Structure 1
Amino acid sequence: MHAQNRCENLRTAVKNKTGFSRLFPAWLLLFTLGHFSHHLLTALPVPLMPFIRDNFSLDYARSGLLLSVFSITYGLSQLPSGWLSDRLGTRILMAIGICGVGLAGVLIGFTSGYVMLLVLLGLMGILGGGYHPSAPPIVSTTLPAANRGRAIGVHAIGGSAAYFIAPLIASTTAATWGWRSSFLVLAAPTLAFGLLLYFLMAGRKPKQEVASDSTECKVIPRKAGNRHDLLAFMALSSVTTIVTMSVMSFIPLFLVDHFGMSQASAALVIAIVYFTGIFANPVSGFLSDRVGRIPLLVSANLGLLPVLFFMNSVPQGWGVNLVLVSIGIIIAMTQTSSESHIVGNVAEKNCSSVLGVYYFTNMAGAGVLTPMLGALIDARGPRFSLTILTLVLGAAVLAYCLRLLSQRHFKPQTEI
């Protein structure tokens, strides 16, 4: 009876909200800012890679190793972080995830050697792993369950905005004071907001942190076979994310080498991808609520195939911009559909743990593929390497679609 009354109160609170506060609750906006601050520093290694490469005289393989160390440790830390979040709560893990990358950013700002940079990027990955497994479950409850995709999409704006703004700041500070200054400049606001979020969340009561009629207010029996369907969905999403992240890691270097761009220009151009995400994420969230998570993920993959295949052939200018905008849209479609689908198909008590496994797979997979892709580019060139990735992704999409057709299951899963 108490739980039923609580749920009725939550529904009434949602219905009583009007205008902007109903579309974008205050806590959703706060979590979006938290996402923004978390990624201010994690967004720096890729656009700064041309500066770092010249500083340490690196080839593609060793440049990729820098990025892979962060990705692998970031991915590994998702596993214990998701488990701890389900048991200790989101507040501590989200704060550590934000403040941890801020602390690592300060240390990177004072590093002087390649090996130490490897170690500190690994430390950033370890300390930053608590945010993502903790955030989606609580973010998804800021709006009714029918609008879960929109909540995830709005929250994703924070990450896209950070990846857009960070290269703009980094290109300016790196060209003026060196690439280390970029980490120092952005570490301060990251640390400050992590502490602010920790203290603001202290006043919230468990299970009453948001006004929502989310899944905690209803019991839907689990259907047999859902676990297999979810694993297949997560597998395709992970393949898409791993391929996209690995390719994104080398785009600034590719622009410098293939088109003769300056280091600063390459760092700025990469921001186009994430500027697109600022708009594509909420739209993707809306579409995932309307057309379903599975069709949206499959569509993202079908769009990524020609982008990968023709990336090496597009002309400078509009061609490069079209590729970058397309990648931004594809990242948004993949992220919002995947997080919404996982949160909607996993029991609340295990949600962060499953998300931890998902993010671990993505980050660790990208960490392994990135140096391999770098070595392949060094040996055979970008065209051959991108063709191989296109074939691998195409095989994954085909296998998933055949599975769907065999089950006649091209509809959103029942959310539980």
Structure 2
Amino acid sequence: MAEKILEKKFRKTLVILLFLGWALGNLDRYLINYAIVYIGEDLALTATETGLILSSFFLGYALMQLPGGLLADKFGAKKVLLTAVIVWSIFTGLTAVAWTLSMMVIIRFLFGIGEGGFQPSASKIISSSFPVNERSKVMSIMLSSGGIMAMLVPIISAALLLTIGWRAFFVIAGLLGVGIAILYSKYVPKDEIAKETNQGHKVKDILGILFKMPLMWSLVVAYFTIYAVNWGLNSWMPKYLTDVRGLDLVSIGWLQMIPGAIQIIAMIVFGYLIDKLDLKVNKFIGAVCALILSGFLFLMFNAESIALFITFQCIVTLLLTFVVLLLPSFILKRIPSSYAGTAMGMANTGGQLAGFVTPTLIGFMVDVFNGSYNAAMWLLVVISIICVGAILTISLKNQVFKEVEHGNIA
């Protein structure tokens, strides 16, 4: 199916809508990282059980990546986007009625299932509706809303969790999804549905094609490793700063605004930069960033003061942001838009499986080592080094993509 680039005014509207949708999704998923401090007290959770709750979302989210991409490619991205917002908002609200560990895990898992279709379908929309030289920029604008939420949620959480409580907090977050769903229903343009994708390939053949591309498997590993670091830090940062550094949630909220602000600026700047540079150059820069990341993770966890800790965290944030933005660019610029949704779903499965495994594993390590986070630190350092190798193995041979476009991969 040929790409149908939208007119400029419609593209601007679409960017705003994707930004708002991703902002809501990140609001819902970041809330739990701060609310878990109070949830853990209410439900008398161990560190391992806390990690299980944090991870349960990512299991559902990961399992929905491939189906979400396939559904977007087959039935249209708008339907998947709208469904994702509605379902995840319902289960965000239902988090408020969880009174046991098992209920909380099930609800967060189903919340992940709901949100899982968003990024693959959003990626398909970006791939099919925007020129190649704008796609990384658009993706960076959408993802920057996650940085804004990372900056705002600590402050919002500190204020509201102490006043209305975590249960009412999740109800409000769920209700916000109703507004986003209405906007999507009215303003997201209908996309053409391909009865046959990619010049004769049916949807059932898409996975067979993608599974035979070395590029995709390198991306799966790269996504897994960089998101293991990303979600390992995001999930446990409030708890770590409380347990190890002795900070209260209000102080944590204000301090986390600093790396949050840096992440927002970095996403916008890096999005433009990635669009301007050749992918081969970007690939080398990404590998270097992942390597340096490992060193600054070590320095951050061993910082002698809070000021030094936040300084190193800001550098870690910059390095992480570049790699996180770079990886989807390989799909947006190298994979035909007719199955970009499925390709993004496949790659992001690796990332979200990391989101499932890492928080629980860190919680287990903290329990085993009697509250020490040293083992968790070394886990993240080693994973970031593995990410270097995954990025360097990403294949950019043009012949591979010519064969895919003509359906010649056996």
Q: TM-score range by the shorter chain?
A: 0.7 to 0.9
Structure-1 residue corresponding to 2:408: none
Aligned counterparts, 1:238-277, within 5 A:
238-277=224-263
Partner of 1:129: 116
1:312 aligns to 2:301 (yes or no): yes
Equivalent AA in structure 2 for residue 148 of structure 1: R
Deviations 1:50-75 (A, max 9, x none): 22222222232111111111111111
Q: Mapping of 1:100-179 within 5 angstroms?
A: 100-179=87-166
1:400 is displaced (CA, Å) by 5.0
Can you give the 5+ residue segments of structure 2 that lack an aligned partner in the other structure? 200-210, 406-410
> What's the offset of the Cα at 1:254?
0.8
The answer to whether the 8 A contact 2:287-2:389 is kept is no
Cα offset for 1:349? 2.2
Match of residue 388 from structure 2 = 397
Aligned with 2:217 (options 213, 223, 231): 231
Is the Cα contact below 8 Å between 1:95 and 1:197 reproduced in 2?
yes
**Structure 2 residue 12 is matched with structure 1 residue 25:** yes
3-state SS in 2 of match to 1:266: helix
Q: Is the 8 A contact 2:132 2:332 kept in 1?
A: no
* Residues 41 and 389 of structure 1: CA distance in aligned 2, closer, same or farther (over 3 Å): closer
Letter in structure 2 aligned against 1:356: G
- The one of 362, 366, 379 equivalent to 2:368 is 379
Is 2:343 the counterpart of 1:354? yes
In the TM superposition, residue 414 of structure 1 has moved relative to its aligned partner by 7.4
Pair 85,323 (structure 1): closer, same or farther in 2 beyond 3 Å: same
Kept in 1: contact 2:20–2:145 (CA 8 A)? yes
**1:298 Cα deviation (Å)?**
1.4
Provide the C-alpha distance between the structure 2 equivalents of 1:182 and 1:331, rounded to a whole number of angstroms: 29
* CA–CA separation in structure 2 for the residues paired with 1:302 and 1:73: 30
1:211 is aligned to none
Match in the other structure for 2:274: 288
TM-score, normalised by the number of residues in structure 1: 0.82
RMSD between aligned residues? 3.2
The one-letter amino acid of 2:291's match is L
Match of 1:88 among 75, 89, 98: 75
Matched, 1:69 2:56: yes
Residue type at the aligned position of 2:67: P
CA gap 1:296/1:44 in 2 versus in 1, 3 angstroms: farther
Q: 1:138 to 1:163 in 2, by over 3 A?
A: same
Partner of 1:336: 325
Matches of 1:37 and 1:248, distance apart in 2:
17
Distance, in Å, in 2 between the alignment partners of 1:106 and 1:396 is 36
What is the distance in 1 between the residues matched to 2:165 and 2:94?
15
350-359 vs 161-170, greater mean Cα deviation: 161-170
Contact 2:283 / 2:391 at 8 angstroms: preserved in 1?
A: no
Aligned 8 A contact 2:297 2:377 in 1:
yes
Counterparts of 2:29 and 2:18, CA distance in 1: 17
Equivalent position to 1:364, from 347, 353, 357: 353
Contact conserved, 2:127 with 2:340, CA < 8 A, in 1?
no
The 2-side partners of 1:184 and 1:204 are apart by: 30
CA distance in 1, matches of 2:110, 2:237: 24
State how far apart, in whole Å, the 1-side matches of 2:88 and 2:257 are.
Answer: 20
Cα deviation, residue 227, structure 1: 2.3
Give the letter aligned to residue 40 of structure 1. Answer: L
1:99 is aligned to 2:90: no
| Structure 2 residue 188 is the aligned partner of structure 1 residue 197 | no
Cα distance in 2 between the residues matched to 1:274 and 1:239:
21
Unaligned runs of 5+ in 1: 15-20, 208-214, 217-224
1:39 CA displacement: 2.2
Percentage of identical aligned residues: 19
Separation (CA, whole Å) in 1 of partners of 2:309 and 2:48:
23
Q: How big is each residue's C-alpha offset from its partner over 1:145-164, in whole Å with a ceiling of 9 and x where there is no partner? A: 12321111111122222333
Deviation of the 1:231 alpha carbon: 2.5
**Matching residue's letter, 1:171:** A
Q: 3-state SS of the aligned residue for 1:376?
A: helix
Aligned-partner Cα distance in 2 for 1:392–1:27? 35
> Shift in Å at residue 258 of structure 1?
1.1
CA contact (8 A) 2:54 2:235 kept: yes
> Deviation string for 1:20-56 (max 9, x for gaps)?
x69x722212221222122221221112222222222
Query: Which of 292, 295, 316 pairs up with 1:303?
Result: 292
